[in-house]
């Protein structure tokens, strides 16, 4: 099923828009606290479209993601009682429960792992606030985890250039479904 190809084509068109960095920053901020789509879907094509700006785009994504993470932390710290009923009914409840359990076991490293991996980082930002994690270690773990992830994406796209863009276009549906299968596997393993 060709679900990811049309999205990829649209992302490549948007990645060349003059306001694309603003959209990337907004999406990155929102994804860290409440938005479901990861910024990688914009960062990768933007780095492919503008390889000379890859590091700047990685910095932008990292900084706005960490700012969004701080907003998610504030949501957890100040409003967890208000959002808990909604959260329990949402599809994010298992991820939130995982975040709480991981904080009890790994603390700082839970934020780092969530920042780098495809695990919903937003649930970890909210859980960090709800559990009153120290803000400075939270911010450091977020910068390292998110920065590592986004600089890796930017570096791969910069290195791959036009050749990578063509290959991604050819295999994006397979890669997309493989990613979905991997996320499902991770969720099943951690349940």
Give per-residue pLDDT as tens, 177-186. Answer: 887 787 788 8
Residue 10 has pLDDT above 90, yes or no: no
Taking CA atoms, 172 is separated from 62, 87, 121, 156, in Å, by 24, 32, 23, 15
**For 93-134, what is each residue's pLDDT tens digit?**
888 898 899 888 888 888 888 888 877 888 889 999 999 999
Domain count, the chain: 1
For the ranges 24-28, 66-70, 92-96, 184-188, which has the lowest average pLDDT?
Answer: 184-188
Residue 2 has pLDDT above 80, yes or no: no
**pLDDT value, residue 38:** 87
Q: Which residue has the higher pLDDT, 24 or 5?
A: 24
Tokens read off for 106: 């790994």
Distance from C-alpha of 154 to C-alpha of 171, rounded to nearest angstrom: 19
**pLDDT value, residue 1:** 64
pLDDT band at 91 (very low <50, low <70, confident <90, very high): confident
Share of residues in the chain with pLDDT > 90 (%): 41
**For 132-156, what is each residue's pLDDT tens digit?**
999 999 999 999 999 999 999 999 8
**Non-local CB neighbours of 95 within 8 Å, separated by 6+ positions:** 119, 120, 123
Parent domain of 126:
4-190
């Amino acid at each position: 099923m060709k679900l990811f190809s049309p999205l990829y084509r649209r992302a490549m068109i948007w990645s060349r828009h003059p306001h694309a960095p603003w959209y990337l920053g907004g999406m990155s901020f929102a994804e860290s606290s409440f938005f479901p789509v990861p910024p990688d879907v914009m960062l990768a094509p933007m780095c492919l479209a503008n390889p000379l700006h890859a590091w700047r785009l990685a910095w932008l994504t990292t900084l706005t993601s960490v700012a969004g993470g701080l907003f998610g932390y504030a949501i957890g710290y100040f409003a967890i009682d208000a959002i808990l009923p909604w959260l329990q009914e949402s599809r994010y409840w298992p991820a939130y429960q995982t975040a709480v359990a991981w904080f009890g076991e790994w603390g700082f490293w839970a934020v780092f792992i969530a920042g780098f991996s495809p695990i919903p980082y937003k649930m970890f930002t909210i859980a960090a606030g709800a559990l009153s994690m120290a803000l400075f270690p939270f911010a450091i773990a977020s910068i390292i985890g998110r920065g590592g992830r986004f600089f890796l994406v930017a570096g791969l796209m910069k290195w791959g250039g036009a050749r990578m863009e063509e290959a991604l276009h050819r295999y994006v549906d397979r890669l997309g479904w493989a990613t979905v299968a991997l996320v499902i596997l991770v969720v099943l393993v951690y349940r």
